[in-house]
Amino acid sequence: MPLVIEPPPEAAERVVDATMDEFLTHGGVTLARSVTPSASTPLPLYHIGADALAQSRGLSAATHVGWITTVRNGSEVVGSVELAPNPPSEEDPMPVRFASFTQGPMHADIALAVEAADKQTRRRNVRARLLRAPAVYLLALWLTDGDTDMLLPIGRAPAPPKSGEAMPAAEALAALAESAKRSLTGDDGRS
């Protein structure tokens, strides 16, 4: 069974399409080699703060903050669009809104991590999410089958865990607890 990605709200596709149209029309993104850029299925994005890491509260402390979709120009990943939940109102009925567009090598690493996880999990029902822990400079693919949670760090990751190597989430988060404590006290450990 392929990797399962929890679907975003129906409006997410419209927001991504409108964002891409806006960028292309106004020159915000240069996609010279492709007439039509493509976007991946948005991955749910979760955030875990330094306090939760320092207190060893685990993944239950992670909060859903939006979705990230990588943008391709042909086969090259050129960036990511981040979407955020938007409480619908009379003025704006969309349940999701554009949050940001960023470019750089990290976005290709997201796509590579998803492709690698998809190949490794073909026989199991595994959900994929992204976990961001800015206080310890971690972005990881969060893989869960309902019983086991694994984190696969993306790009440059603090050690441990090691970039590109899946690790049980509880172990990875425990390994980051001291760094999170230093982040909270303002001691980056370099003095």
Residues contacting 58, CB < 8 A, separation 6+? 52, 169, 170, 173
Residue 29 has pLDDT above 80, yes or no: no
In-domain check, residue 191: no
Q: Would you say residue 65 lies in a domain?
A: yes
DSSP letters of 73-123?
ETTEEEEEEEEEE----SS---SEEEEEEE-SHHHHHHHHHHHHHHHHTTT
Residues 162-176 have pLDDT tens digits of 777 889 999 999 999
Model confidence at 104, pLDDT cuts 50, 70, 90, reads confident
- The neighbour count for residue 153, using CB atoms within 10 Å, is 25
In a domain, 15, yes or no: yes
Q: 108 or 38, which is more confident?
A: 108
Beta bridge partners of 138: 133
Q: 175 in helix, strand or coil?
A: helix
- Closest of 108, 128, 106 to residue 119, by C-alpha: 128
Residue 140: inside a domain: yes
Instruction: Copy the structure tokens of residue 140.
Output: 């990881």
Confirm whether 190 is domain-assigned.
no
Q: Which pLDDT belongs to residue 35? A: 56
Residue with tokens 């003025």: 91
Residue 11 lies in a domain: yes
pLDDT the model gives residue 27: 62
Classify residue 51: in a domain, yes or no.
yes
For residues 97 and 16, the answer to whether their CB atoms sit within 8 Å is no
Residue 129 corresponds to which amino acid? R
Number of domains in the chain: 1
Choice among 88-92, 127-131, 150-154, 166-170 with the minimum mean pLDDT:
88-92
Q: How confident is the model at residue 128 (pLDDT cuts 50, 70, 90)?
A: very high
The whole domain housing 163 covers 4-185
